[in-house]
Copies of this chain bind each other. A is one copy, B any other.
Amino acid sequence: MTASAPIVILVNPQLGANIGMAARAMLNCGLTELRIVAPRDGWPNPEALDAAVSDSRILVENAPVFDTTAEAVADLTHVYATTGRGREMVERIVTPRAAGREMRSLAADGARIGVLFGSERAGLGNDDISLADTIIRAPLNPDFKSLNLGHAVLMVSYEWFATEDETEEEVLDIGTAHVATKGELDNFMRHLVEGLDSGNYFRAKEMRPIVVRNIRNLFQRARATEQELRTMHGVIVALKKAGRAEEGAD
């Protein structure tokens, strides 16, 4: 978390719950500075504190409140405004994803960045928009573009976080186990095929190598662990035992 992470600025928010949810979304994504402009229901707002759970309550408690948007952005060098509506003005418009990358790059150069979010009912007014350098507009279902305030804050915060996140896109978490070696897999297949042969599974001899290959492929594709193959060895033993028991019962 850098000192120059974007500041979220809620302009005329109406519902305390949305303020709290915005704070929660921010902290989920490593943003910690929240500002409020002229909240409808006054300040402090107990509903905002309720909706912000555990640590994110601190963001709400520490949020400075301003009378005007101009005052809330006065110390900033770069201001973004979020809006889904087109305006009668010349606007540079970026997606949340592009904004995330751009804000990272600006922050690295020492910029002080703020992102404006408008009220639930009306969004940002043109006077607020005109304080911003750039519009952020999320690509959304054109037939249903109205985004909840907390959701809008999450979307921008998430894209900020994602730009520097180094989580691998795909991992196989096998804890302390290890994926079976090819030798362990061969060993298991030998055990299995022995049982299948003695159970007279392969009626069509010419199909035997194909079926064996397909079964091996199934366990390989699953990236079975050594532990799981040991379990399957036990399954083979148990099934053979069940056969003997059933024979005895006949």
Binding site for B on A (CB under 8 A): 21, 24-25, 27-30, 53-56, 86, 88, 90-95, 97-98, 135, 138-141, 143-148, 150-151, 154-155, 158, 161-162, 165, 167-175, 177, 225, 228
With known contacts A139-B162, A154-B155, A161-B139, A21–B148 Cβ distance under 8 A: yes
A21 CB to nearest B CB, Å: 6
Report A218 CB to chain B, min CB distance, Å.
Answer: 14
Cβ 8 A contact of A27, one of B27, B91, B144, B155: B144
CA–CA, A90 to B165, complex, Å? 24
Q: Which residues of B contact A54 (CB under 8 A)?
A: 144, 146
B residues near A97, Cβ cutoff 8 Å: 162, 169
The interface residues of chain B lying within 8 Å CB-to-CB of A86 are 173
Which chain B residues border A27 with CB–CB below 8 Å?
141, 144
Residue of B nearest to A168 (CB): B95
Given contacts A90-B175, A94-B170, A169-B94, contact A141 B25 (CB under 8 A): no
**Cβ of A53: which chain B residues have Cβ within 8 Å of it?**
146
- Contact partner, A150, options B143, B151, B162, B170, Cβ 8 Å: B151
* Chain B residues with CB under 8 A of A91: 172-173
- Bound form: Cα–Cα A143–B88 in Å: 43
> Are A28 and B98 closer than 8 Å at their CB atoms?
no
Q: Is the CB of B56 within 8 A of A90?
A: no
CB-CB under 8 A from A143, the residues of chain B are 55
Residues of B within 8 A of A172 (CB): 90-93
B141 and A30 form a contact (CB under 8 A): yes
Do residues A228 and B90 form an inter-chain contact, with CB atoms below 8 A? yes
Given contacts A88-B175, A174-B90, are A25 and B139 in contact (CB under 8 A)?
Answer: no
State A21–B152 Cα separation when bound (angstroms): 12
Determine whether the beta carbon of A144 is less than 8 Å from that of B88: no
